[in-house]
Amino acid sequence: MLKRYDLWIGGKWRQAEQYEMLYAPYNGEELALIAQATPAEAEEAIVEAHAAYESYKRMPASQRSRILFRVAEAIEARREELAGIIAREAAKPMTAARAEIARTVETYRFSAEAAKNITGEQVAMDAAEGGQGKIGFTVRTPIGVVTAITPFNFPFNLVAHKVGPALAAGNAVVVKPAEQTPISALVLAELFAEAGLPAGVLAIVTGKGAELGEKLSSHPLVKKVSFTGSHAVGELIQRHAGLRRTTLELGSNSALIIDEGTNIDDILARCVAGAYAYNGQVCISLQRILVHRSLYEDFAARFAQAAKQLSVGAPLDDKTELTSLISEKAAHRVAAWVEEAAASGASVVAGGRMVEGEGNHIFAATVLTDVPRSAKVWSEEIFGPVAVIMPFDELEEAVRAINESRYGLQAGIYTANIHHAMAAALELEAGGVVINDIPTFRTDQMPYGGVKDSGKGTEGVAYAVEEMTQLKLIAIHLRK
Ligand code: NAD
């Protein structure tokens, strides 16, 4: 029988007023009935989370840590089943879904470790004239209810990047997962309950972002909104959130420089993976590749050849490398942007069309050259299996072209020239620069966050914990 998922509020499943059917993107299979919370139900979740926070904030770090370790273990034990959930609801190829679960386990383990390392520092009070006779130090305290609004593309690990640090810090958290990927979040309810998390500290409210966003970002009991998703929604959330804390992890059109002298054999497979892993629906997907003119033609031909050879199929098939985009709407948008580029002079050297005869809305791995920099495929985030290749002569020219973007999440450079590596690292406007690998690189403890329209704030477990705690000064006047 088809499963029905209710709302997880106050440590219990609560029946909702409305439900909607969730369908698999690849074949339209009915997956489950999902509760569609109303703003009033979201408010209930916030109020109950706040009540639970009042005692959770006093739970010793050792216990918070143990709960997070237990959840990591439980996820690891059920890894194949949970990867299957991602593959079905997000149309993520199984190999990528397994990799996401492995990273999720790490994210919760890093969170468990972070819970035990929330510390302050001594302040040299007598360094100031008026400070003598005083001892000062800082402590980090929990802040209260955090809301976590998450995207579809890493439905386990990006929820973990908010839930893990929030709970490590002693906060309560209300999760609103993406419409397309609710089950990956809902399974956490029982995992955390079984691990010993007190009722109410974690709430999961499924439903429409557009209906719930304002409540989740502006309720007075919400002390921080941690959002990952598109720039347009991030901006709305910031407006609703006003002065309260926000972390906004937004989109990008990540770029890679391939410098003179690079051995194409060494990097080709990485570049193809960077552009097409999970159909290019990764926030740091490799979208723009700037190749030194001496390598340009050879690289473009070989990259296009490799793109054409990716194996297209069902997400649950281990061999599949490319499959359905998350929705028909997303596929139409990708197709329209590719058409716009072609109409303005770009050459389509691979793909450029929907794949017929397989699952729903699969867009072929696409390679474009001669793209005008005004085209959306260059200047905006495509979020699909499309890579643009462009030649350059001087490094400065490549850096300038990359920096024209309104986004700046991560960038990469392949080079054996230390001066070029350092110039790129220092000059590229991005939250992170990867030398001798693609920009599509992330491990879960490293600082991660964008500049410009890619957002504000930093994730990476320990950094997120910092942003989810309050730094408080304690000053003691010493009696003579
Ligand atoms: P999205 O912005 O459409 O949705 C993200 C979340 O916001 C969903 O839960 C959705 O329900 C919710 N939402 C929608 N409208 C809302 C509103 N008005 N108020 C509040 N919440 C609302 O993004 P998506 O399509 O799920 O994900 C793709 C985007 O996420 C891409 O731009 C991608 O680059 C970005 N992303 C960024 C990172 C990062 O770490 N920087 C990581 C992954 C994805």
- pLDDT at site 239: 98
| Of 100, 250, 285, best ligand 1 pocket probe by most atoms within 8 Å of the beta carbon | 250
DSSP designation for 267: H
| Of 153, 247, 463, best ligand 1 pocket probe by most atoms within 8 Å of the beta carbon | 153
The residue among 294, 310, 252 whose CA lies nearest residue 439 is 252
Of all protein residues, the one whose alpha carbon is nearest to atom 43 of ligand 1 is 283
Closest atom of ligand 1 to CA, residue 284: 34
Q: Cβ < 6 Å from ligand 1: which residues?
A: 149-154, 158, 176-179, 209-210, 213, 228-230, 233, 236-237, 249-252, 283, 381, 383, 409, 450, 455
- pLDDT at site 1: 79
HSE-up of 23 (CA within 13 Å, CB side)?
10
Tell me the pTM: 0.98
Strands 19-23 and 30-35: antiparallel
Which strand (E) or helix (H) includes residue 98?
Answer: helix 94-115
Residues of the chain with pLDDT under 50: none
DSSP string, 108-154: HHHHHHHHTT----EE-GGGSGGGTTEEEEEEEEE-SEEEEE--SSS
- pLDDT at site 161: 99
- pLDDT at site 479: 86
Residue among 249, 321, 459, 467 flagged as catalytic: 249
| Of 89, 156, 222, 230, best ligand 1 pocket probe by most atoms within 8 Å of the beta carbon | 230
Span(s) in the chain for CATH 3.40.309.10: 255-443
Q: Would you identify the CATH topology of the domain 3-250+455-474?
A: Aldehyde Dehydrogenase; Chain A, domain 1 (3.40.605)
Q: Which CATH class is domain 255-443?
A: alpha beta
- pLDDT at site 447: 98
Q: Which amino acid is at 78?
A: R
Closest atom of ligand 1 to CA, residue 326: 25
Span(s) in the chain for CATH 3.40.605.10: 3-250+455-474
The residue among 53, 1, 61, 72 whose CA lies nearest residue 31 is 1
CA–CA distance, 323 with 316 (Å, rounded to integer) = 10
